[in-house]
Amino acid sequence: MGDYYRSPYESPTFENDVRDLFLELAPLYENLHAYVRRKLKQYYGADKFPSTGHIPAHILGNMWAQDWTNIYDLVAPYPEKRTVDITKALINKNYTITRMYKVGEDFFTSIGLYKMPPLFWEKSMFVKPVDREVDCQPSSWEFMNRRDYR
């Protein structure tokens, strides 16, 4: 099965294809970075930003700079406009957290991928417990046992 999934990448021009894709997407990322940096400089002051052009990771919300929700209100492109919140619509249609995961699974199985194994459904924490603190830092682990993909 792995050979099948990798086959689109086994092309004599793969390295050039990836480079071309990077070159095509780079301007989008550069513009996004410049926009966010400008908004943050306006808020925090230009003296907080190095001349190297990077955004200090700790300003973005956490040590890994992977979650920008803490700065959304500072960088939202149209702050006077309300964001779309579909929570009520999902509740009205009787969606639950588990149902949303099942809909996602249905999509992936519709394109030929496998269903999640039973251990995923049995051992995953879909809702944060109210009785204790948990740290669910996303990470990837060894999936070779083909039983547990949490």
Is 40 within 8 Å of 49 (Cβ atoms)? Answer: yes
Is 101 within 8 Å of 120 (Cβ atoms)? Answer: no
Is 85 within 8 Å of 45 (Cβ atoms)? Answer: no
Alpha-carbon gap, residue 137 to 108, rounded angstroms: 24
Annotated binding site: 9
Is 98 within 8 Å of 126 (Cβ atoms)? Answer: yes
Query: Taking phi first (over 0 means left), then psi (-120 to 50 degrees means alpha), and beta for anything else, what does residue 34 get?
Result: alpha
- The residue length of the chain stands at 150
Annotated binding site for chloride: 9
Query: Taking phi first (over 0 means left), then psi (-120 to 50 degrees means alpha), and beta for anything else, what does residue 50 get?
Result: beta
